Structure 1
């Protein structure tokens, strides 16, 4: 209950701040939508030169991209900690966080919440809906439940990996170069994994499981039997929980190791 109240207070403060500079708020939403639109355009351009991609049609790949956008939008809203090292370690704001009773990671996440990123999730859901009809996929009530479970699992995959990356700041003075690299790697998850060689497929499935934030869970609804992707989809929440737990353990260990900005 305390955490829910704290979350609500942060959201209210965020709204007050944003309403003071409304134009900045709408510019941020517009820029985010344009970025997602350009990614979609890139996929469409690819299919102007080939009828399929690893056995996947244009509508199927766009469907995967739509799913990919949903958990990424939620993750970007509640785990927007790209600048953790610079703000909290270099500038010493972690000292302030550690004086408060709520869990330190929760405090950091609340201070960086970014609701406009949810627009990406809405756009992704619309893309999925349109492609669902275009592909003539069957619809069952259970699909809504599974979609929610897969999205939560995918968000946890993101959260676990990026929490672990942020936790590296407790051990290293210069971990920021890893984040852009990881951001580029995650984008591979929105394409069919069977177009990559075995080594990349293994990495994207089990070591840095970004395949579980896009193509694998989406394949369940597409009923893609190749490489047992639709069966792997059921592991999405399990993989999410495992990686988030590992990320949280690394974070907690890093906090215990932290000695303050002056150390």
Structure 2
């Protein structure tokens, strides 16, 4: 990643500045209205920070899922993955580490740390452990949803429209679910559960919302991966080579 340092730094700072822009937008809102349905600025930035950390895990380690259709199925490279004596999914994921995601990781750490300090949350060893569990689980929730949507490449080749339309819904998870219509809450909780990567884990530390929902985060991650792997294996069973 450091062989071309300028490229690495441009990617790092571009994602970093993109997140800074989003935070500035939130600051402008709160500077004018004070709070959103009882949620303060730093409570919302804690939600924002946790989602950013979860995204960074997905961005760094699972970013290659985005190009399955375009660079592997369409060009016939996926056949090579099937011939090698390792899991084709592991091979696909391991083919690329996305350095741009480190920008998200840094801004996420800064956001969560600053929010915790400003809110006066006293972190114990258990809290640090739970934070780690929530962040890793959130990252795998993002990855599982991306895996499900990218698997459509085996039928449609170009899966980015499905991935982007689903991934864009994660923007709703940057804020408390209570500010949306109930249908949005149901969507982000039970259908496309991005809320388990931000809102519910943040509620665990803020003592807001149902604590049991936050504790379901790793369970949701495991269930989603079980579903994603079943969908992936079904997709592979229906895959036909480029030349077929």
Question: Shorter-chain TM-score: what band?
Answer: over 0.9
1:190 aligned to which of 155, 169, 174: 174
Higher mean C-alpha displacement, 118-127 vs 179-188: 118-127
Structure 2: unaligned runs, 5 residues or longer: none
Contact in 1 for aligned 2:71/2:77 (Cα 8 Å): yes
User: What SS is found at the alignment partner of 2:129?
Assistant: helix
Give the count of matched residue pairs: 243
Question: 2 CA distance for matches of 1:160 and 1:245?
Answer: 9
Aligned to 2:52: 69
1:164 aligned to which of 142, 145, 148: 148
| Aligned residue runs from structure 1 range 111-126, under 5 A | 111-126=95-110
User: What SS is found at the alignment partner of 2:33?
Assistant: coil
Question: 2 CA distance for matches of 1:96 and 1:143?
Answer: 44
| Aligned residue runs from structure 1 range 32-111, under 5 A | 32-80=15-63, 81-111=65-95
Instruction: List per-residue Cα deviations over 1:63-114 (Å, max 9, x = no partner).
Output: 1111111111111011102222111111111011111111001111111221
Give yes or no for the alignment of 1:240 onto 2:224.
no
Q: Could you tell me the TM-score, scaled by structure 1's length?
A: 0.88
Question: 2 CA distance for matches of 1:33 and 1:119?
Answer: 5
Question: 1 CA distance for matches of 2:158 and 2:107?
Answer: 35
1:174 Cα offset (Å): 3.8
1:216 Cα offset (Å): 1.0
Contact in 2 for aligned 1:54/1:192 (Cα 8 Å): no
1:123 Cα offset (Å): 2.0
Aligned to 1:11: none
Q: Could you tell me the TM-score, scaled by structure 2's length?
A: 0.95
Higher mean C-alpha displacement, 111-120 vs 43-52: 111-120
Structure 1: unaligned runs, 5 residues or longer: 1-14
Higher mean C-alpha displacement, 77-86 vs 166-175: 166-175
Give yes or no for the alignment of 1:22 onto 2:5.
yes
Question: 2 CA distance for matches of 1:200 and 1:116?
Answer: 30
Aligned to 2:237: 256
Contact in 1 for aligned 2:137/2:217 (Cα 8 Å): yes
RMSD of Structure 2 on Structure 1 (CA)? 1.3
1:146 Cα offset (Å): 0.6
User: What SS is found at the alignment partner of 1:47?
Assistant: helix
Contact in 1 for aligned 2:47/2:198 (Cα 8 Å): yes
Instruction: List per-residue Cα deviations over 1:12-45 (Å, max 9, x = no partner).
Output: xxx4xx41x2211111111111111111111111
Question: 1 CA distance for matches of 2:11 and 2:105?
Answer: 15
Aligned to 1:221: 205
Contact in 1 for aligned 2:141/2:197 (Cα 8 Å): yes
Higher mean C-alpha displacement, 171-180 vs 68-77: 171-180
1:128 Cα offset (Å): 1.0
User: What SS is found at the alignment partner of 1:171?
Assistant: helix
User: What SS is found at the alignment partner of 1:82?
Assistant: helix
